[in-house]
């Protein structure tokens, strides 16, 4: 069973393994979400979507859908 970023709770961390969507992967990698990088979910928006993550030394927000394309180790 694969774990994706969208399944993590606030405060949990994971390491990026690969992506399930090519187009999204290009945009996410530019923003520092690279294979091997550690990601920590820092908060979830009040309505449950989007989420904010800590990656490469800064905070990035993305929608649950985009997070679901990031497969973790």
Partner 1 sequence: MKADIRVALVGNPNTGKSTLFNALTGLNQKIGNFPGVTVDKKIGYTQLPDGRGAEIIDLPGTYSLYPKSKDESIVFSVLAEKGGELKPDLVVVILDATNLKRNLLLYTQVADLKIPVVVALNMIDLSKKAGIKIDINLLAEKLGVPIVPIAARKLQGIAELKTAISYANKFALQQESIDVRAIAPEMVDAISKENNIDVPYLALQLAHQHETLKFLTPAESDRIEDLEQQFSFHSQKAQGAETIARYNYINDLLYDTVKTPQTAYDESHSNKIDKILTHRVFGFIIFMGILLFMFQSIFAWSAYPMSLIEDLFVWAEGGLRHILPAGPLADLLIDGVVAGLSGVMVFIPQIAILFAFISILEDTGYMSRVTFMMDKIMRKVGLNGKSVVPLIGGFACAVPSIMSTRTIENWKDRMITIMVTPLVTCSARLPVYTLLIALVVPNKNVWFIFNLQGLALTGMYVLSLVSAVLVAYVMKFVLKARERGYFIMELPVYRMPRWNNVLFSMYDRAKTFVLEAGKVIIAVSVILWVLSSYGPGNRFQKIDQKYSQPQYAQSMKPDSLKRVISSEKLENSYAGVLGHVIEPVIKPIGFDWKIGIALITSFAAREVFVGTMATIYSVEGDADKIDSVQDKMRHAKNPDTGQPVFTLAVAFSLMMFYAFAMQCASTVAVVYRETKDWRWPAAQFAYMTVLAYGASFLVYHLLK
Candidate residues 43, 68, 71, 73; the one interacting with partner 1 per rule CB under 8 A: 43
Candidate residues 1, 9, 11, 57; the one interacting with partner 1 per rule CB under 8 A: 57
Cβ proximity to partner 1: between 9 and 30 the closer is 30
Check binding of 59 to partner 1 (CB under 8 A): yes
Output the CA angle 53-55-59, nearest 5 degrees. 55
Candidate residues 8, 62, 70, 72; the one interacting with partner 1 per rule CB under 8 A: 62
Q: What is the DSSP string of 11-73?
A: T-EEEEEEES-HHHHHHHHHTT--TT-EEEEEEE-TTS-SEEEEETTEEEEE-HHHHTTEEE-
Q: Which residues bind partner 1 (CB under 8 A)?
A: 22-32, 34-35, 42-43, 45-50, 52, 54, 56-63, 66
């Amino acid at each position: 069973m694969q774990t994706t970023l969208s399944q993590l709770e606030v405060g949990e961390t994971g390491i990026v393994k690969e992506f399930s969507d090519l187009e999204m992967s290009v945009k996410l990698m530019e923003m520092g979400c690279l294979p091997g990088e550690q990601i920590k979910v820092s908060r979830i928006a009040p309505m449950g979507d989007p989420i904010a993550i800590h990656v490469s030394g800064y905070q990035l927000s993305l929608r649950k859908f985009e997070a679901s394309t990031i497969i973790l180790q």
